[in-house]
Structure 1
C-alpha cells in the first residue's frame, strides 16, 4: 500500500509540474518540499527507465516521452479524483481543500458571518479565502468558486445567485454643504468624483434615468481599485462615490454619509457564486454550493 501511495504522489507531482511549469510551484500545490518533489520525479524516471523532464536553470520542459506520459496519466488521475470525490460526496462529512475568491468589502461586511457558519457546519473542509476586488480567473488562479457582484459576462461559468445589492451615490454632509448636491447626472461633471476603477467603462458611471441605464462621463478627482479607500475619502468629504450600499450602510446610519441623487441610483445588481463548468465539482465545493443555496441574504 505504501508503494502504491508513493506512486500516486509521484504521478501527481509530475502532473503538477507539467501544469505549473516549475518544481517550486508544483511542490506548493501538492504540499511537499521542493526537494521531495524532485526526488519523486527522479524515482519515477528511474522506474520508467526514461527521462520525462529536461531541467535547466531557467525552465523545466517535458521530453517527448514526458508529453506522451502526461497525456495518458491526466485522464487516469481525473478518473481517480472523480471516484474519490464521489465517495466523499456520499459521506455525511465532506472534506478536502476549498479555495474561494471574494471582493474585499463584500466578504468583510456581508459574507464573513456565513463563512464562520460554514466552518462550523463543515469542520473537515480546509477553507482558503482570497480577498481581491479584481475579477479572478478561476482556472488560472486555481479557485474552486468566486463571489461576483454585478452582471456576469463569461457564459462558460455556472452560477448560484446569492441576492441583489443596491448601488448608490453618497457623499459626506460636509461635502454637500460646501459643494452642493447634483440634481441630475450631467451635473456630476462639476463635482469631485471618487471613481472605482474596477467598474466597466473608463471614467463613466452607470446611472438610472427613467427605465434606462445611462453611462455618465465623469472626470475623477481620485481613482482606486479599492472600495474601502474610496469610502474613507467620501467620509472625509473629498467627493462623491458610487458604491454598493453594503459598503456604506453603517456610515449612512451614523450620518457620516448621505445619499446623493437617490432617484438616479442604479437598480439592484446581482451577487453570484460562480464556478467553472469544466472543473470537477468536489465534495467540498458541492457542500459550499448547497450551503449558499440555503442562505437568505435579501
Structure 2
C-alpha cells in the first residue's frame, strides 16, 4: 500500500464525512477506500475512524492524524508544484567543470548565449584539466576530451576533436619537414603531459616513444603554452585544432604528416543520471549539442593537406 495514497484517502473521508463521497472525490471505488483506511489503521496500530451504518466520525487519534496528514500533503503538493515550475523554466545554480584551454577559447560565448536564453540559471564554471569526480565534488556537468573509460556516468558527445601534428614554417625551414614517421626521430618534440589520444595512432606511438626516451625538449600540462612555443620555433607539437586553429589559419603553424593524423577524439558532456534529470542540466546539454556545429567552427578553414 502506498502510504501517501492512503493518507490522501483518509483526509478525503474526513472532509467528505463518508466513504462513498470520498470515493467519488478520489476517483476510487468504495471498496478500495475502505481497504486503504483499514490498512492505514493496521499500520498505525490505532483506530482513526468510528464507523456506523449512518455516519463516520473521527477518533481522537484520527483527529491528530488528520491535522498532520493535511500538513504533509500540503508540503508534498507545494514541492511538486515548485518542481513542475522548474521543469517549465530552468533556474538555479549550474556547476560545470571544463578543461582549461577549451573553456578559455570556446566557452565564454557559449555561457553568455545560454544565459541569454535561460536568464534564471546561474553558471558556476570551474576550469581544470583534472578528471573531477562530479558526484563527490558536486558538479552538475563535466566536459571531457579524449577516450572515455567505462563508468556509470552518462556521456553525451558534443563535438569531434581533431588532433594534428604541426610546427612553425621557420622551424621546418631550419630542421626540415618530416616526410615519414621515422623522420620524427630527428626532431624536437613539445610534449603535453595529459595527452589522451587514440593509442592506435602511429604518430602518437612515435611521439610517446620519444617522450619515454626523454627526447622531448619541453613538457607542459597546458596546450596553449606548447602551441605558443611551437609558433616561436621550439619544435613539433601534437595538439587539438580547437587550440591550434587560429595559428594554422594564419600560417604561423603548418600541419606535418597529415596522412598520419590520429583518429578524431571527442568532446563529451558527462552527467550522473539519465532519469529525472534537472531541467537546467537537460537544457544546457541540449544547448551545447548543436552549438559548435558539424564540423566545429574552429575546423572549417583548416585544410587536411
Bin for the TM-score computed over the shorter chain: 0.5 to 0.7
Q: Could you say which residue in structure 1 is the equivalent of 2:181? A: 185
Say whether residues 1:87 and 2:84 are aligned partners.
yes
Q: Could you say which residue in structure 1 is the equivalent of 2:271? A: 275
Asked if 1 retains the 8 angstrom alpha-carbon contact of 2:167 and 2:256, the reply is: yes
Evaluate the alpha carbon distance shift between residue 234 and residue 85 of structure 1 in structure 2; reply closer, same or farther with a 3 A threshold.
farther
Alignment root-mean-square deviation, CA:
2.7
Asked if 2 retains the 8 angstrom alpha-carbon contact of 1:182 and 1:261, the reply is: yes
Runs of 4+ in 1 over 6 A off after TM superposition: none
| Structure 2 spans left out of the alignment, 5+ residues | 1-75, 295-305
| Structure 1 spans left out of the alignment, 5+ residues | 1-78
Q: Could you say which residue in structure 1 is the equivalent of 2:95? A: 99
Query: In structure 1, the residue corresponding to 2:149 is in which secondary structure?
Result: coil
Q: Could you say which residue in structure 2 is the equivalent of 1:28? A: none
Q: Which of 144, 165, 170 is equivalent to 1:148?
A: 144
For 1:164 and 1:187, the matched residues in 2 are separated by 29
Q: Could you say which residue in structure 2 is the equivalent of 1:63? A: none
For 1:84 and 1:186, the matched residues in 2 are separated by 66
Q: Could you say which residue in structure 2 is the equivalent of 1:176? A: 172
Evaluate the alpha carbon distance shift between residue 252 and residue 296 of structure 1 in structure 2; reply closer, same or farther with a 3 A threshold.
closer
How far the C-alpha of 1:119 sits from its partner, in A, is 1.0
Evaluate the alpha carbon distance shift between residue 214 and residue 177 of structure 1 in structure 2; reply closer, same or farther with a 3 A threshold.
closer
How far the C-alpha of 1:141 sits from its partner, in A, is 2.5
Asked if 2 retains the 8 angstrom alpha-carbon contact of 1:234 and 1:257, the reply is: yes
Question: Could you report, residue by residue, the CA deviation over 1:84-103 in whole angstroms, capped at 9, with x for unpaired residues?
Answer: 87324332x21111111111
Question: Could you report, residue by residue, the CA deviation over 1:254-282 in whole angstroms, capped at 9, with x for unpaired residues?
Answer: 11111111111112211111112399732
- Greater C-alpha radius of gyration: 2
Say whether residues 1:239 and 2:235 are aligned partners.
yes
The equivalences for 1:93-132 within 5 A come to 93-132=89-128
For 1:98 and 1:214, the matched residues in 2 are separated by 36
Higher-strand-fraction structure: 1
Question: Could you report, residue by residue, the CA deviation over 1:43-65 in whole angstroms, capped at 9, with x for unpaired residues?
Answer: xxxxxxxxxxxxxxxxxxxxxxx
274-283 vs 128-137, which moves further: 274-283
How far the C-alpha of 1:109 sits from its partner, in A, is 2.4
Q: Which of 156, 160, 180 is equivalent to 1:160?
A: 156
How far the C-alpha of 1:197 sits from its partner, in A, is 0.6
Say whether residues 1:224 and 2:220 are aligned partners.
yes
Question: Across the two proteins, how many residue pairs are aligned to each other?
Answer: 213
How far the C-alpha of 1:206 sits from its partner, in A, is 4.6
For 1:90 and 1:139, the matched residues in 2 are separated by 22
For 1:85 and 1:148, the matched residues in 2 are separated by 32
How far the C-alpha of 1:208 sits from its partner, in A, is 3.5
Question: Could you report, residue by residue, the CA deviation over 1:168-216 in whole angstroms, capped at 9, with x for unpaired residues?
Answer: 0011111111111222333323211111111149xxx95745xxx8622
Question: Could you report, residue by residue, the CA deviation over 1:38-83 in whole angstroms, capped at 9, with x for unpaired residues?
Answer: xxxxxxxxxxxxxxxxxxxxxxxxxxxxxxxxxxxxxxxxx99x95
How far the C-alpha of 1:250 sits from its partner, in A, is 1.0
